[in-house]
Chain A
Amino acid sequence: MPDSNVAELVAKYEEELRGYGASLPDEFNRSATALSAELSSDQLDQWAKTGISLAGQSLRAWEAATEYFRSSPSIHEKTDFEGVIAWAGIAEELAQKSSLVAASFLKFTPEVLTHISLDELSEWSKQGDRLFRGNWKSGTLSAAYFEHTPDLLSVLPLHSVEKLVSIIDALTERSYELASTCLETSPKIFKELEQPDREPFLDFARAVTRASWADTRLYFERGPDLIASINSQYRSGFLELSAKVTSEVGRQAFPLFADAADALGQLPDDTHAEHINFASDLALGSPTAAMEYLKIVPFASSRLTPEQLREWSNIGSDVLISENNAEGAEAFFRLESTRAEAALQALSSRVELSTISTLLRMYAKALTGEQIAIYSVEELVDQNIGWVQESVATTEGSSIYLPPFVSTFEAQEANFQSYKVFATHQTGRIEFGSFAYKWNQDGSFTSATVEDREASSEDTSPEGDDEPKAAAVTAMQRYFNSFDERSLISGIFTVIEDTRVDAYVGREYGGIRKWLKQLQAYEANRRPRIENMPLRSAFVENLLRASLGRPETMRWPTVYREFLENGLSALKLVEEEEATVQDSAEVSAVIYDIAQRIPNITPSMADGKFEFDVPTEDMLSIQPAMPSGDGPPMDMQANEQEVEFENPPQPEFRGDFKPELVQLLARLKQQQEGNVDGEGTPLTKEQLKELLENSVEITIAEWAEGDLDESLGMFLENLEQAATPSGEGKSDDETSGSDESSGGDGEGEEKELPVEIDWSYYDEWDFRASDYRPRWTRVGQRFHEAEEEPEFYSETLRKHHGLVMETRKQFELMRPEVFKKIKRVEDGDELDVDLAIEFYIDKKAGIGPTGRVYNKRNKIERDVAVAFLLDMSASTDEEIEKQRQSHSDDDDDDFDGDPRKYFQWLAARRASQMIEPPKRIIDLEKESAVLIVEALEAIGDSYGIYGFSGYGRDNVEFHVIKDLDESMSELVQRRIGKIEPIRSTRMGPAIRHTIHKLNEHDSKVKILILVSDGRPQDHGYGKDRTEKEYAVHDTKQALLEAKRDGITPFLITVDKEGHDYLQQMCDDIGYEVVDDIESLPRRLPTLYRHLAVE
């Protein structure tokens, strides 16, 4: 078509077009020119008309028309005229709904066509159309769809885009904002994902959206990163699994996915396949279990070898498959089941300190005869008193600190034995007197020379620092002071003294010799290469190797062999029987002298004057002796090149050795206990400072930060605190925290002293898993300290005077209960044949026979212990009147519709409330407590009264009102007065703690009486807030535990609806629903009588 025709065409429509939009004619003009070469004039006219009709669709349709004209040439390049018209047809349909959407469609078509074929165009537009719902927001979204699809289609096929659209579409029902964010970010996300992951990612996204739409954003944000850490081959498998899981678990899906992905990320790539496959198998039975499995794998593999892990997981999968117990398997893989934990422990070769600390404590006590506590070494580091290594055993003289776990060896037994070797070496230091060094005393084989040394060291000390030195605080310090090079003497002394202790241990404890040897060998193989050491360090290292029983691994220049030979024979001396720490000190001094003459240089520095050789035969069979004289002259002088001396690292099983600090601590302890022995005056700060500054046992780096004086001060404080006699501060088994909030109202409690809380941990029964959740609940026992006057108590006594007297009388009647046979009485239930014969003999012999021939069954002291457990939950705050009211609403017509009667009643009630505040359930519990106390005092049974409440499994409050072996006092009366409603009712742990208390008590008959006002409930005491089953089952289980331990449990509730759950909870356990709440104080003593006598 010639250009003139185009001009004609433009002229023909220009006016009309301009009416729609100012820029429209230009666009039309440009495209028409481009198309004119291809289209006939008729076609061109039709094309133009189509555009105009499009523009006429709506007010802003000109925009769409603009895009139509603009895109047409490039569309036509891809198709024929028919195609263009069909395309325009789609646009027109869209434009009828929204010109904006149509414009976007038209604008991006050319781009999209680079990814899809023309035939797919309608499918593509349909998706956009689907998003449009006739409102503005959806229009924008739909337009955005067309805008982003070119990008999307470059990474996703059209059918995947469809999936994405359906996700977006689903989101629009919730939030357009979220929908458009997801849409906008998706091109980037999918571009970053690897090709095979894209489809599964999308599938899981769809599942997430269905299950929990709000998580979609999180998934889009974090998902790609999360799965990036998974082995790429198995990513899709994991996503498929996740999608499957989602359809089952709903809301929990995303968190589970995220945690599982995170967990997989922590594992080596090549194990992913196995774990994901295993999880997929589990998912057939329980998708949650599958995800929990993946989550636990990193933890489990830190304790188990892959083989063991497989074994352990199979046990879990057996729970699922063989026992068909999905909940059980979930708990198993969550490690919230006793079975899982036991299996883990049995399989794992790793030994935890926490499981054997009681054992080791008794072991150490047996070995040393001293009360030695066992702690994790982490605790000592926390005290900041100079010990910094968290992984090696040590002692500060009164406690032994061990690493929190040992997993060095593959067999559990070997790891346990390592613990024993650690503990034995540390107790050895105490048992064999490593810290008992006394100044200048002779040993068994050596005579003391340190006094002379001290004198000469003072003479030679350089003039520069002639500040008067503070007197040494301890003998150990004074000893170290006598040497110029503290680090060297300290290193040597450590090696020598540990050698002595090892030798003692080997001699005294033949049974662990084998394990000690094994550890020595293990350490010997891990020693640093001697060949890399300078000569003096190598000297010390060689001594250390000899002391580990591996002299053949020594390396030393043969030309200097006398040095080492002298050192070795001195070392041998402390391996002799009877060697003392004094010997160690002297031997160290001699070795120090030798070492000092050895320049600390490497072979390369000495121009090949020496090299390290294997030990000679002589060296291996050296005899113990103190070297005499100065030994051979050294043919090398110390020179400038000399390297600073560094002690070779200590073998792990010997642990940290800090005799100077230990002696200091002991000294401080003495000082605090006030019995400073002969040595005299209290320590001054200067003395301490001097010691700590010079001691090489404290790493200087610790002071590096901040002011030296300040950190020194803090350090001293820590030391003094550590020296404080324990007892108040630290309890032996469970460290008692006092910082925990006690759950009640915060403000009032600030004034009071922090309440001392003893924490205990109890399992909880998970009826779904049919297994206990190990150490699931934490019960904080506290003494109910009360300041109030015991008014409530006396008031109650006064008010219920009659009742008190009555119950007392009844109780006194039941006093005798158990019988004991008493022999030789004149009147009794049975005849003693022996005595009767004797009677006749005596009679016959003419001796005044005694008529005491009967045995009698007499009543002896009762032996009953009873614990009352009072529900202190918030619901006990409820007024009884109100409750009654709510139950008797239908009584309204009592007033016969006569308002006067009603007002009379109301006035009377108000008046009575003025005199007496409305009674709450808790008040009745308190009154009952008073009555029962009075009654029980009359018969002398042991009894305890406890209250419980709390919130959540970590904070079950257990209030001691009167402990079992506490005697009745005014304090108890005050505590009863202070019983207050607090929070929830987690009965299980409270019952278990009471069982624990009763078990510790020595009585024939044990009774547990629980008084409550309703069903057990607490935060997390069940699947969700409304679930009641879990709590009921756990409580039932706790009651059964009581029975198993020979305790008679009994439940009393004032909850009228109590029958339904009590029947289930109590099976064959006694319970009673007290209908008339106010009869509780009267009823409780009666019930007790039945229980205690039956």
Chain B
Amino acid sequence: MTTNASGFTQLAVEDFRLTEEPYYLEINDEIRLFEAAYENNIPVLLKGPTGVGKTRFIEHMSWRLHNAEGQSSEEGVPLITVACHEDLTASDLVGRYLLEGDETRWIDGPITRATKAGAICYLDEVVEARKDTTVLIHPLTDYRRLLPVEKRGELLEAADGFLLVMSYNPGYQSALKDLKHSTRQRFIAIDFGYPDRDQETEIIQRESGASAEFARDLAKLAEKVRNLKEHGLGEGVSTRLLVYAGKLIAAGISPRRACQVAIVWSLTDDGEVQRSIEEVVTSIFDE
């Protein structure tokens, strides 16, 4: 890790470790499940709507695992996150040669680095990636734990501690963008739903610093708004948005206004649905 003169830190992806515990509230038994999967080298698929805490969960696990493993606090499980998009290619993941003067130099891609470093490799929103890239990871996910690096003609065996984790939001998948069965059947799937009212209250309060009362009201609002899913709303309001609203409230914005900008307008552009949600907001918050 190097700290630059201008004050920012720059570090190699495989060196990224969480030193402070990221807040995560267990909803079911997902922590226990993940730990078991990790011990047994079983790749994990995190399913669930946006903003319920999938990424937070994986961060929390990477922090937790390095603590639980009894390793020294320096030597934790690194977390390498790749945000997938439709132009993501195999060499983006595995690595490529670069031109340096007259020479070429090989540079490892994130997945290669994770394989070598024994890191958790987290492919966020994996369905967005091109199909050919998802096939690439197949040998990594079964008993072989191998990564073929085609361009160098090498085969890389994953270091201990390496685990492939993907996230996936079944909510807005069209038939076109679905995971291939050969891919999805290599993972155990942990389903993330919305937390219940009490849990969500706790999360909002903890994350946003809003008062318990507002946090509870926000959680209540979330419950009501989620009832509208499929009735004008594609997806229910995420915990993330609730936290944003909570932060705005904590910063002194009036609750109604905070909900309007953080929840109502974020969720939909449909005037009528907006109005309906606003009415729910004004029913719950009195100013």
Interface residues of A (CB under 8 A from B): 358-359, 362-363, 365-369, 420, 424, 508-514, 823, 837-838, 840-842, 844-845, 847
CB distance from A518 to the nearest CB of B (A): 13
Contact, CB under 8 Å: B97 / A842: yes
**Is B285 touching A841 in the complex (CB atoms < 8 A)?**
no
Q: Using known A-B contacts A508-B220, A509-B283, determine if residue A841 contacts B97 with beta carbons closer than 8 Å.
A: yes
Question: Can you list, as one digit per residue, whether each of B268-280 has a CB less than 8 Å from chain A (1) or not (0)?
Answer: 0000110111011
List the one stretch of B73-81, B186-194, B223-231 in contact with chain A.
B223-231
In the assembled complex, the Cα of A511 lies from the Cα of B220 at a distance in Å of 13
- How many of B's residues come within 8 Å of A, CB to CB? 33
Complex CA–CA separation, A548 to B43 (angstroms): 60
Identify 22 residue pairs between A and B in the complex whose beta-carbon atoms are under 8 Å apart, listed by A's number: A359-B272, A362-B273, A363-B276, A367-B224, A367-B227, A369-B223, A369-B224, A369-B227, A509-B283, A510-B286, A511-B281, A511-B286, A512-B282, A512-B283, A514-B286, A840-B99, A844-B97, A844-B99, A845-B97, A845-B104, A845-B106, A847-B152
How far in angstroms is the closest Cβ of chain B from A103?
Answer: 82
Given contacts A508-B220, A511-B283, 4 further A-B contacts (CB under 8 A): A358-B272, A362-B231, A362-B276, A367-B283
Contact B96 A841 (CB under 8 A): yes
**B217 partner residues in chain A, CB cutoff 8 A:** 510
* Distance A847 CA – B152 CA, assembled complex (angstroms): 8
CB-CB under 8 A for A367 and B280, given A362-B273, A511-B286, A514-B286: yes
Contacts of B146 in A (CB 8 A): none
How far in angstroms is the closest Cβ of chain B from A852?
11
B residues in contact with A841, CB < 8 Å: 96-99, 104
Top 3 A-B pairs, shortest CB-CB distance: A362-B276, A369-B227, A845-B104
Q: Given A366-B227, A366-B280, A842-B97, A510–B285 Cβ distance below 8 Å?
A: yes
Q: Which residue of A lies closest to B152 (CB)?
A: A847
Per-residue CB proximity of B22-65 to A under 8 Å, as 1/0? 00000000000000000000000000000000000000000000
Report the separation of the CA atoms of residues A823 and B220 in the bound assembly, to the nearest whole angstrom. 47
Shortest CB distance A212–B (Å): 49
* B151 on interface, CB distance cutoff 8 Å: yes
**Min C-beta distance of B128 to chain A, whole Å:** 15
Find out whether the CB atom of B227 lies under 8 angstroms from the CB atom of A359: no
1/0 contact string of B218-244 vs chain A (CB within 8 Å): 001001110110011000000000000
A951 to chain B, nearest CB (A): 34
Residue pair A847, B151 in contact (C-beta under 8 Å): yes
A residues less than 8 Å from B227 (CB atoms): 365-369
Interface status of B250 (Cβ within 8 A of chain A)? no
A420 touches B283 (CB 8 A): yes
The answer to whether B151 touches A842 (Cβ under 8 A) is yes
Residue in contact with A511 in the complex, picked from B87, B104, B273, B285, CB distance below 8 Å: B285
Is there a chain A Cβ closer than 8 Å to B284's Cβ?
A: yes
Residues of B with C-beta under 8 A to A514: 286
Question: Is A823 a contact of B283 with CB atoms below 8 Å?
Answer: no
In whole angstroms, how far apart are the Cα atoms of A514 and B285 in the complex?
Answer: 11
Closest-CB distance, A322 to chain B (whole angstroms): 31
* Contact of A365 with B220 in the complex, beta carbons under 8 Å: no
Please, which residue of chain A has its CB at the minimum distance from the CB of B225? A366
CB-CB under 8 A from B104, the residues of chain A are 841, 844-845
Tell me whether chain B's interface is mostly helix, strand or loop, or mixed.
Answer: helix
- B225 CB contacts on chain A under 8 angstroms: 366
A424 in contact with B283 given A367-B224, A367-B227, A845-B97 (CB within 8 Å): yes
CA distance A509 to B152 in the complex (A): 64
Please indicate the chain A residues that have their CB under 8 angstroms from the CB of B284 in the complex: 508-511
Measured between alpha carbons, how far is A959 from B227 in the docked complex, in Å? Answer: 37
Report chain B residues within 8 Å CB of A508.
220, 284
Given known A365-B231, A366-B225, A366-B227, contact A359–B275 (CB-CB < 8 A): yes
Chain B residues positioned under 8 Å from A424 (CB to CB): 283
Output the residue of A366, A420, A512, A840 with the most chain B CB within 10 A. A366
Q: Could you tell me the distance between the alpha carbons of A513 and B104 in the complex, rounded to whole angstroms?
A: 71
Which chain A residues border B91 with CB–CB below 8 Å? 838
Min CB distance B230 to A, Å, is 10
**Chain B residues positioned under 8 Å from A510 (CB to CB):** 217, 284-286
The residue from B96, B276, B283 contacting A838, defined by CB atoms under 8 A apart? B96
The docked-state distance in angstroms from the alpha carbon of A23 to that of B276 is 97
The answer to whether residues A363 and B280 also contact, given A358-B272, A510-B286 and a CB cut-off of 8 A, is: yes
CA distance A487 to B273 in the complex (A): 43
- Distance A513 CA – B223 CA, assembled complex (angstroms): 20
Convert B242-284 into 0s and 1s, putting 1 for each residue whose CB lies closer than 8 angstroms to a CB of A.
0000000000000010000000000000001101110111111
CA distance A841 to B227 in the complex (A): 55
A228 to B284: give the CA distance in the assembly, Å.
56
CA distance A368 to B228 in the complex (A): 10
CA gap between A369 and B228 in the complex, in Å: 7
A362 to B256, CA, bound (A): 19
Determine the residue in chain B with the shortest Cβ distance to A371: B231
The answer to whether B97 and A847 have CB atoms under 8 Å apart is yes
Report whether A363 and B220 are in contact in the complex, using a CB–CB cutoff of 8 Å: no
Docked-complex contact A362 and B282, CB < 8 angstroms: no
* Cα–Cα, bound, A26→B140 (Å): 143
Give Cα A365 to B224, complex, Å. Answer: 8
Chain A nearest Cβ from B135, distance in angstroms = 16
> Nearest Cβ distance between residue B127 and chain A, in whole angstroms?
19
* Cα of A366 to Cα of B220 in the assembled complex, Å: 11
Chain A min CB distance to B124 (Å): 22
Contact B87–A513 (Cβ < 8 Å): no
Question: How distant is B108 from chain A, measured CB to nearest CB, in Å?
Answer: 14
* Shortest Cβ distance from A513 into B: residue: B286
Q: Which residues of B contact A838 (CB under 8 A)?
A: 91, 96
Contact among A363, A368, A823, A842 for B279, CB-based, below 8 A:
A363
The minimal Cβ–Cβ distance linking A425 to chain B, given in whole angstroms, is 12
Min Cβ gap B229→A in Å is 10
- Smallest CB-CB separation from A508: which chain B residue? B220
B228 adjacent to A362 (CB under 8 Å): yes
Return chain B residues, CB-CB under 8 Å to A509.
283-284
Q: How far is the CA of A362 from the CA of B232 in the complex (A)?
A: 9
Are B279 and A420 in contact (CB-based, < 8 A)? yes
Bound-state Cα–Cα, A795 to B22, Å: 74
User: For window 96-153 of chain B, which residues contact chain A by CB distance below 8 Å?
Assistant: 96-99, 104, 106, 151-152
B276 touches A359 (CB 8 A): yes
B151 contacts across to A, CB distance below 8 A: 842, 845, 847
Flag if B97 contacts A366 (CB, 8 Å): no
CB distance from A282 to the nearest CB of B (A): 37
* Neighbouring A residues of B285 by C-beta, 8 Å: 510-511
Report Cα–Cα, A53/B280, bound state, in Å: 102
CB distance from A839 to the nearest CB of B (A): 11
User: Contacts of A359 on B, CB cut-off 8 Å?
Assistant: 272, 275-276, 279
CB nearest neighbor in B for A842: B97
Chain A contacts for B283, CB-based, 8 A: 363, 367, 420, 424, 509, 511-512
* Across-interface contacts of B228 in A (CB, < 8 A): 362, 365-366
CA of A424 to CA of B279, assembled, Å? 11
Instruction: For residue B46, give the distance in angstroms from its CB to the closest CB of chain A.
Output: 26
B219 to chain A, nearest CB (A): 12
Chain B residue numbers with a CB within 8 Å of A420 are: 279, 283
Q: List, in ascending order, chain A residues with CB within 8 A of B98's CB.
A: 841
Among A367, A510, A838, the one with the most B-chain Cβ atoms within 10 Å of its Cβ is A510
Q: How far is the CB of A675 from chain B (nearest CB, A)?
A: 24
- Nearest-CB residue, chain B, relative to A510: B286
CA distance A353 to B96 in the complex (A): 65
Question: Considering only CB atoms, which chain A residue lies closest to B276 in the complex?
Answer: A362
A837, B104: Cα distance in complex, Å: 12
A389 to chain B minimum Cβ distance, whole angstroms, is: 25
Instruction: Give the residues in chain A near B232, CB-CB below 8 Å.
Output: 362
Q: Which of B96, B106, B277 contacts A366, CB < 8 Å? A: B277
- A365 to B232 Cα, complex, angstroms: 11
- Complex CA–CA separation, A838 to B96 (angstroms): 8
Q: Chain A CB within 10 Å — which of B96, B217, B276 has the most?
A: B276
| Chain B 187-203 interface 0/1 with A at a Cβ cutoff of 8 Å (1 = within) | 00000000000000000
